[in-house]
Amino acid sequence: MPYSYVLYDGLCLSCGRARNIIVSLDWFGVIKTVNVYDEKSLSQIPAEISNLNSLLSEIHLIDRNGTVYRGFKAVRKIGLKLPLTAPFALLLYLPGINILGEKIYEFIAKNRRRSPG
Asked whether residue 44 is assigned to any structural domain, the reply reads: yes
For 54-68, what is each residue's pLDDT tens digit?
A: 777 888 999 999 899
Asked whether residue 105 is assigned to any structural domain, the reply reads: yes
Asked whether residue 55 is assigned to any structural domain, the reply reads: yes
Where does the pLDDT of residue 21 fall: very low under 50, low under 70, confident under 90, or very high at 90 and above?
very high
Domain count, the chain: 1
Asked whether residue 50 is assigned to any structural domain, the reply reads: yes
Residues paired with residue 31 on neighbouring β-strands, in sequence order: 4
Asked whether residue 116 is assigned to any structural domain, the reply reads: no
88 residue type, one letter: F
Where does the pLDDT of residue 112 fall: very low under 50, low under 70, confident under 90, or very high at 90 and above?
confident
Q: What is the pLDDT averaged over residues 42-49?
A: 71
Asked whether residue 11 is assigned to any structural domain, the reply reads: yes
Asked whether residue 117 is assigned to any structural domain, the reply reads: no
The share of the chain scoring above pLDDT 70, in percent, equals 89
Give the structural domain span for 45.
4-110
Where does the pLDDT of residue 96 fall: very low under 50, low under 70, confident under 90, or very high at 90 and above?
very high
Residue positions counted in the chain: 117
Asked whether residue 41 is assigned to any structural domain, the reply reads: yes
Whole-model pTM: value is 0.86
Question: What is the C-alpha separation between 52 and 15, in angstroms, rounded?
Answer: 15
